[in-house]
Amino acid sequence: MQKRKLGKSGLEVSALGLGCMGMSFSYGATHDENEMINLMRKAVDLGVTFFDTAEVYGPFTNERLVGKALSPIRDKVVIATKFGFNCVPGGKPGLQTLNSRPEHIKEVADASLERLKIDSIDLFYQHRVDPDVPMEEVAGAVKDLIAAGKVKHFGLSEAGAQSIRRAHAVQPVAALQNEYSLWWRKPEQEIIPLLEELGIGLVPYSPLGKGFLTGKMDESTKFGEKDFRGQLPRFQPDAMKTNRAFVDLLNDLAAKKKATPAQVALAWVLAQKPWMVAIPGTTKLSRLEENLGALSVELTRDDLREINQASTKIPVEGPRYPEHLEKMTGR
């Protein structure tokens, strides 16, 4: 397994991590706990060392699941989790209210440590910027947790450039988690250059466009009531029909590379910067193995130029989130 360091933090992880959210949250289906535990441990056997969860996934159930799976092999893994919401058990995605008050951050850290069954959180992200709490206070609270040995590294998720700078000035930020893929390239405009300047790693989530770039869905795809993709503008039938042009582009290159569209999409992300570590999620062993196959896909400069030239000519249909969720990003 290839290893990468997240910026200048010294935090080294596998080049591909595993996003665990979908094992218990957001994508509708209920998954057998033992099957998910076995999947995470199989991922470790295959060389994956980087696992991503959050208290809000469930809420709480995903952290407990990750703890059951990985605490017995703690020395082999890096676990990232997140704070920043008032979590209500059984609450719907997107309806939890923000809360990054310092005292709450410290309460969340203790609770997450207990659920994860570990002594220290490797990477503790602020899930979304809280406009009611100065970033200096947020970073200061995490700095205190690092001094206490409860947290090793500080991260942000979907933060804007000013927030990143303010946080980094108080406590160095190891990584920013942000959506980034062939069909969401906005971070290239301001965020990625800033991360390079400051020496902060990027952890792209949804590098496969929440599954769309795998080519396994189209305008006829039906989403279950608990699958939040059914609420997203890009996953409405007309938008998916238009956005299939991205899948067609990936299919063409995948045929040349004897790979799958998903593997090419992941290889493209990893080819952008050596300090990027994507965290595709899955609940199936076959998909995990397919995703890891992306590490063997070599994209040449000509390949990357071809993808960039072709993709910039394809208009993306639909915002990535409804307005109430989109306004929580980039602050």
* Structure-token match 């706990």, residue found: 33
Long-range contacts of 32-37 (CB under 8 A, 24+ apart): 33/65, 33/68, 35/283, 36/65, 36/69, 36/283, 37/65, 37/68, 37/69
Phi/psi region, residue 237 (left: phi>0; alpha: psi -120 to 50; beta: rest), is: alpha
DSSP 279: -
Report strand pairing: 97-98 vs 85-86: antiparallel
Residue 62: count other Cβ atoms within 10 Å of its Cβ: 25
Determine if the peptide bond prior to 315 is cis (ω within 30°): no
What's the rounded Cα separation, in Å, for the pair 330 and 59?
A: 23
What's the rounded Cα separation, in Å, for the pair 237 and 160?
A: 31
Instruction: Answer yes or no: 27 catalytic.
Output: no
Q: Check 27, 57, 125, 205 and give the catalytic one.
A: 57
Measured at the CA of 278, the angle between CA 276 and CA 280, to 5 degrees, comes to: 175
**Radius of gyration over alpha carbons of the chain, in Å?**
19
Measured at the CA of 101, the angle between CA 137 and CA 281, to 5 degrees, comes to: 100
Give the DSSP letter string of 43-99: HHHTT--EEE--TTTTTTHHHHHHHHHHGGGGGG-EEEEEE-EE--TTPPTT-SEE-
**Nearest partner of 227 among 159, 266, 283, 288, judged by Cα:** 283
What's the rounded Cα separation, in Å, for the pair 188 and 197?
A: 13
Any idea which residues carry the catalytic annotation? 57
